[in-house]
Structure 1
């Protein structure tokens, strides 16, 4: 039998406006109300769910990265590529993917 990680129950009373705001925030973020509140308590504001095309964009960026890897493999075999330029571009792509992911899905710190 496993023990629950969270074994302290907290009951909170809200007025109708507070409940509406909690439900709206949780729904926008795609989180349960409980998870939404735990993130807020940790000092962060959950971001809204990413736009529908986010996953399409990420898939496209990953495809570009795979293509760059294939180009690199072929270029290494033939010796016809500037490795520094290719590496710079590959690093740029990797950073773009991280930046997009962070901008769209990471919680923001409370100010």
Structure 2
């Protein structure tokens, strides 16, 4: 990781409302005010930080998908009629996972 020396300082004055808005946006993004401002100035899209349970939700949806996939392998090997239903369930599980990941993460994540 490259560490940049930030040696140049700039003073900005805010109204109370502007400062409160900046503090709120930075807090919701999980960033310091300075880091939030640098992200914005560099053209990054800053989203609110993930709630603590979203990574757990993604992990659980993936776990369920893996379980369905394992059942599907067995069903195909034994030529069970349920294989088509498992294929549909696996497709739905993957669609839900993609929706959650696309909604709560940025491409850089």
TM-score over 0.5 for the pair: yes
Higher RCO, 1 or 2 (CA under 8 Å, sep at least 6)? 1
User: C-alpha offsets along residues 69-93 of structure 1, whole Å, 9 cap, x if unaligned?
Assistant: 1112211321225666544442332
TM-score (norm 1): 0.66
- Structure 2: gaps (5+ residues): none
TM-score (norm 2): 0.67
* 1:39 to 2:47 alignment: no
* 1:55 to 2:55 alignment: yes
RMSD (Å), alpha carbons: 3.1
Check whether the contact 1:48–1:105 (CA below 8 A) recurs between aligned residues. no
- 4+ residue segments displaced more than 6 Å: none
Check whether the contact 2:30–2:48 (CA below 8 A) recurs between aligned residues. yes
Number of matched residues? 105
Assess, with a 3 A threshold, how the Cα gap between structure 1 residues 81 and 39 changes in structure 2: closer, same or farther: farther
1:61 offset after TM fit, Å? 0.9
